[in-house]
């Protein structure tokens, strides 16, 4: 795909001549005749390069550059200042505010083309990596995605108790994010009425999902974890189509805590397919019955097809009921063709008490056998986090 160049200049002749020249070189051209319009187009269009004039009436190029560099959505877009100001101090100021290159008018078309080409080539790896990856690299928390092949297997239970266990063991920032709009349950389970966080992230534009906005949407819980909750409104299920918003959201969450646990729900909708490769590991929950085992086997194969390493797929066998119909974990593992990393013992009384207390089970009875199993899962996650 051809690179897009945004030209911001109040001189109409410059916009027309430079735009035409670069268009003939195969670039897509967008134009803005003042700084404010340029900022708006930069946010909306996310160009590969901005060609920016300094001397403009409403907002000079220096201020435009400062604002572009302050916004996470535009911070990595390369900027080539193209201006009649020739003093050394002017150039120094341009570089200080964040310009990547500087050319003075008039210049030969060949020289301009060479600078544009070189700057695009130099910044191409950053562009390919993308702003979201940059955000992850700034502070990449350890992300654990939890999902299953169908509902009712205990995804939310595992995600909630894993998050609480991680906080108990590590005494550090832990975020639990419920990613299933229209199907939210954690708010009710944990006694929190506000469930607007996820909806607000998915309804807006990608550029609005800043780290500050995400952090303001997190709700504290007395268990020590922070929550991003999904709504119960069935109409909100349509928001699962906002794949780019999900991607931006996970990147912001990763820069906000040491551990991020994602309740992904069921199956592999488009947003889950996009997010799973961003996770450090995923946990697949199943129960020991033939149909679920077969479906889970297919789910694991599809997860691996998303370039997720098999070693990062951890299976948790959740024996929810005391029943002879449940297979032993060794049988389940053999039929699944994938190792089981943890098994949860049936404990209906524990979960009933936790529901009454509106707290994770591991907090209501820390010494319970099942609570201890959650804590062991957390211990293993912490070890893998340290070893990454």
Task: Give the pLDDT confidence of 354-375 residue by residue, as tens digits.
Answer: 999 999 999 999 999 999 999 9
Tell me yes or no: is domain 4-130 CATH 3.40.50.2300: yes
Interstrand relation of 340-344 and 313-318 (parallel, antiparallel or unpaired):
parallel
Local confidence band at 323 (pLDDT 50, 70, 90 cut-offs): low
Peptide bond into 106 cis (omega under 30): yes
Residue 93: per-residue pLDDT: 84
Measured CA to CA, the distance from residue 89 to residue 228 in angstroms comes to: 48
Distance between CA 301 and CA 320 in Å, rounded?
Answer: 25
Say what the pLDDT of residue 325 is.
Answer: 63
pLDDT score recorded for residue 129: 44
State the Cα torsion 279-280-285-286 to the nearest 10°.
110
Would you mind telling me the total number of residues written for the chain in this entry? 388
Per-residue pLDDT tens over the stretch 272-321: 999 999 999 999 999 999 999 999 999 999 999 998 999 999 999 998 77
| Cα gap 135→211, rounded to integer Å | 9
What kind and span of H or E run contains 376?
helix 369-387
pLDDT band of residue 139 (cuts 50, 70, 90) is: low
Domain with CATH 3.40.50.300 in the chain: 139-387
Q: What's residue 74's pLDDT? A: 86
**In the predicted model, what is the mean pLDDT of residues 34-62?**
90
Q: Which of 265, 267, 230 is nearest to 249 (CA)?
A: 230
Structure confidence by residue, pLDDT tens digits, 173-223: 999 999 999 999 999 999 998 788 999 999 988 878 888 889 899 999 999
pLDDT at 137 exceeding the cut of 60: no
Mean pLDDT over each residue of the chain, to the nearest integer: 89
Residue 131 has pLDDT above 60, yes or no: no
Q: Return the pLDDT at 106.
A: 76
Just give the CATH number of 139-387. 3.40.50.300
Share of the chain above pLDDT 70, in %: 93
The mean per-residue pLDDT over the stretch 10-15 comes to 87
Which residue do the tokens 């200080």 mark? 96
Task: Report, as an integer, the average pLDDT of 51-79.
Answer: 89
Which residues belong to CATH 3.40.50.2300 in the chain? 4-130
The runs of H, that is alpha helices, within 87-206 are 88-97, 109-138, 155-170, 186-189, 197-203
What's the average model confidence in pLDDT over 81-102? 80
Q: What is the pTM of this model?
A: 0.67
**Could you tell me how many helices (H) and strands (E) the chain has, helices first?**
16, 13
What is the rounded CA–CA span in Å between residue 289 and residue 302?
20
First to last CA, the chain: 35
Q: Report whether 355 contacts 190 (CB < 8 A).
A: no
Summarize pLDDT for 341-352 with one digit per residue, the tens: 999 999 999 999
**pLDDT for res 108:** 82
CB contact burial 193-226 (16+ within 10 A = b; e otherwise):
eebebbbbbbeeebbebebeebbebbbebebbbb
- Structure-model confidence comparison of residues 89 and 239, the more confident one: 239
Query: Is residue 345 a contact partner of residue 317, using CB atoms and an 8 Å limit?
Result: no
């Amino acid at each position: 795909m051809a690179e897009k160049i945004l030209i911001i200049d109040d001189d109409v002749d410059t916009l027309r001549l430079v735009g035409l020249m670069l268009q003939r070189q195969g670039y897509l051209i967008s134009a803005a005749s003042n700084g404010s319009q340029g900022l708006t187009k930069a946010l909306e269009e996310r160009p590969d390069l901005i060609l920016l004039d300094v001397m403009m009436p409403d907002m000079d190029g220096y201020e435009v550059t400062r604002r572009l560099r302050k916004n996470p959505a535009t911070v990595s877009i390369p900027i080539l200042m193209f201006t009649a100001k020739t003093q050394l101090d002017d150039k120094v100021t341009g570089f200080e505010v964040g310009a990547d290159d500087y050319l003075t008018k008039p210049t030969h078309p060949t020289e301009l083309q060479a600078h544009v080409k070189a700057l695009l080539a130099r910044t191409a790896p950053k562009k390919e990596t993308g702003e979201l990856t940059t955000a992850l690299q700034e502070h990449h928390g350890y992300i654990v995605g939890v999902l299953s092949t169908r509902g009712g297997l205990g995804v939310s239970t595992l995600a909630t108790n894993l998050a609480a266990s991680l906080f108990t063991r590590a005494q550090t920032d832990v975020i639990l994010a419920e990613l299933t709009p229209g199907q939210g349950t954690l708010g009710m389970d944990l006694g929190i009425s506000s469930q607007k966080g996820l909806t607000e992230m998915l309804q807006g534009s990608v550029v609005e999902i800043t780290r500050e906005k995400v952090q303001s949407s997190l709700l504290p819980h007395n268990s020590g974890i922070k929550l991003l909750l999904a709504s119960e409104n069935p109409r909100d299920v349509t928001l699962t189509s906002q794949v780019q918003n999900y991607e931006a959201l996970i990147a912001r969450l990763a820069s906000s805590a040491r551990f991020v646990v994602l309740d992904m729900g069921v199956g592999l909708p488009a947003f889950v397919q996009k997010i799973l490769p961003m996770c450090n590991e995923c946990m697949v929950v199943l129960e020991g019955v033939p149909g679920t085992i077969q479906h889970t086997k297919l789910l694991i194969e599809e997860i691996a097809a998303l370039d997720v390493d098999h070693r990062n797929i951890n299976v948790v066998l959740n024996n929810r009921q005391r029943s002879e119909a449940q297979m032993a974990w060794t049988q389940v593992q053999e039929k699944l063709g994938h190792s089981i990393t943890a098994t949860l013992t049936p404990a209906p009384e524990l979960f009933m008490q936790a529901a009454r207390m509106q707290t994770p089970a591991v907090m209501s009875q820390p010494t319970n056998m099942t609570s201890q199993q959650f804590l062991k899962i957390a211990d293993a996650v912490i070890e893998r986090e340290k070893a990454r």
